[in-house]
Amino acid sequence: MSRAQAEVRSRTQVRLAKKTSNLFRSRARSRDGLDLSAFTGVLSRTEATQGQPATATVGGLTTYEQLVDELFVHGQMPRVVPQLRTITLGGAVTGLGIESTSFRDGLPHESVTQLQVLTGTGEVITATPDNEHADLFRAFPNSYGSLGYALTLTIETAPTSPYVALRHLRFTHLEDALAAIGQIMASRTWAGTDVDFLDGVVFGPSETYLTLGRWAADPQGVVPSDYTGSQIYYRSIQHKRQDLLSVRDYLWRWDTDWFWCSRAFGAQVPAIRRLWPRRLLRSDVYWRIQDLEARHGIVAGLDRLRGRPAQERVVQDVEIPLEHTAEFLTWFLTHVPIEPLWLCPVQLRESRQNPSKNPGGADKTPQKIGETPWPLYPMRPDTPYVNVGFWSAVPIHEGATRGDVNQAIEAKVTELGGHKGLYSESFYDEQTFAALYGGATYDRVKERYDPQGRFPRLYDKAVRAR
């Protein structure tokens, strides 16, 4: 029996020890968390063959920064690379992840062909889509460590090119931008040119940009842009129609300024930016600063002394069906004083919708039309969605209470047939939460793989912050 298995069996409550985090909700802190740091790096690879994709078996605590570096040597990358360097592969699968390849490759867990999971019984289970532990394989995404921890994951990988060429398209009407998203998701082209990457930014009701990326092998005399220093990527979207980035800089284009959230720390003020070391312009540094503030309330205390209203943190990513995204954005821009907003189109992979067309894929279990293969985050396989990300705070005005804005957003997302990610604060009652995030399916899998409740339940982690 391994040390990790023995530790799980010896404890009544188990939590994972991690050096970094990308959570934005309060959580119980543990000084003696379970150490799985040995499970890092690419452990083995297979090359692509006719009808079979390339794969990599990877430790669950591997950050995407490390994973990308190790796969680039072989001209490969994960099919979906979440935008922040310190997100781990296991974290992106158990907590969901998304990026600009999601309009064609779905979510990170859809590239997984096998999971090795340490469960609450202290067993190490190998779960695949069609073995005796398929229930755990299906329920693991969005379980946030409440069903077990991924020790290793086997994932499909995809070939890379040295550069990504970008086009920034401006739209003055939200409906036009969303119509363009629908067209690109359906055809994977725009104006006769292939689209390999797709995301967007809403700067206001009449200013939306879609960024279309395509692989490029040769810069053709163009000097690639550098947004790791004085230049700021998201501002370039408003001023450039075309751009070129190295593939590594493209994958981490949002990490340098935590999208646009680095402005809260003064990192976008030219005088401060000149003094801020490049190696510290990265999301995990900003996260540590905000975590310090969340625990000690330094800025909140100064605001009270200045007579400023308290702030409600509104940090969320929500998936809205494409057909309702314009309605959601119009409502949001009217009622919530937060801009910009990130748009990331996403649809479950075609191979998952139609396994018979997937000669080398991982899932050969037939799905009923419209049935979700991922019960804890039940997006419909026949529906295009748009992830809307917004990360800021709003003032709590007189007569309002903390949580009012977040609860209004939750209600609107549910009304429009969407879901929100659980990495941040949630306010659902238990009945609503169960209806949205797995319900009876989650209970059955929890009872089978963690009957003694060594891992906190999902509702306790996501809503009660236990």
* pLDDT over threshold 80, residue 205: yes
Query: What residue spans of 150-297 are helical by DSSP H?
Result: 174-187, 233-239, 247-251, 270-275, 283-296
- Please check the confidence at residue 248 and state whether its pLDDT lies above 90: yes
Distance CA 180, CA 199 (A): 11
pTM of the model: 0.91
| CATH number assigned to the domain comprising residue 45 | 3.30.465.10
Residues in the chain: 466
Question: Which token pair is 309?
Answer: 């209203």
Specify if 262 maps to a domain.
Answer: no
Give the chain's domain count: 1
HSE, side-chain direction, 13 A CA sphere, residue 358:
17
pLDDT at 13 over 90: no
CB 122 within 8 A of CB 114: no
Q: What is the amino acid identity at position 186? A: A
Residue 18 lies in a domain: yes
Answer yes or no: is 122 within a domain: yes
* Cα distances (Å, whole numbers) of residue 127 to 118, 131, 274, 408, 420: 11, 7, 49, 38, 26
Which pLDDT value is given to residue 399?
Answer: 86
Instruction: Give the domain extent around 135.
Output: 3-160+453-462
Give the integer Cα–Cα distance in Å for 226 and 163: 12
Specify if 352 maps to a domain: no
* CA dist., res. 455 & res. 252, Å (int): 32
217 falls within a domain:
no
52 DSSP 8-state letter = B
Which is nearest to 358 in space by CA: 159, 219, 156?
Answer: 156
pLDDT cut 90: percent of the chain above it: 76
- Which distant-in-sequence residues (6+ apart) come within 8 Å of 274 by Cβ? 230
**Burial environment of residue 130 by CB neighbours within 10 A (0 to 12, 13 to 18, 19 or more):** exposed
Secondary structure class of 278 (helix, strand, coil): helix
Per-residue HEC secondary structure of 120-178 comes to CCCCEEEECCCCCCHHHHHHCCCCCCCCCEEEEEEEEEEECCCEEEEEEEEECCHHHHH
- Report pLDDT digits (tens) over 270-304: 999 999 999 999 999 988 888 787 776 666 676 66
Beta carbons of 370 and 380 less than 8 angstroms apart: yes
Q: Phi and psi at residue 100, in whole multiples of 5°?
A: -75, -5
> For residue 200, which of 230, 229, 221, 169 has the smallest C-alpha distance?
169
Query: What DSSP designation does 225 have?
Result: P
DSSP 308: P
In a domain, 270, yes or no: no
pLDDT of residue 295: 72
Q: In which band, very low, low, confident or very high, does the pLDDT at 351 lie, cut at 50, 70 and 90? A: very low
Q: Tokens in use for 77?
A: 């990358």
Cα–Cα distance, 108 to 418 (Å, whole number):
19
pLDDT mean over 320-339: 97
Calculate what percentage of the chain has a pLDDT beyond 70.
Answer: 91
Could you tell me if 392 and 338 are in contact, meaning their C-beta atoms sit under 8 angstroms apart?
A: yes
79 within domain boundaries: yes
pLDDT digits (tens, 9 = 90+) for 41-62: 999 999 999 889 999 999 999 9
Position 31 in a domain: yes
Torsion on CA atoms 107, 109, 110, 115, rounded to nearest 10: 170
Is residue 141 exposed (0-12), middle (13-18) or buried (19+ Cβ within 10 Å)?
Answer: buried
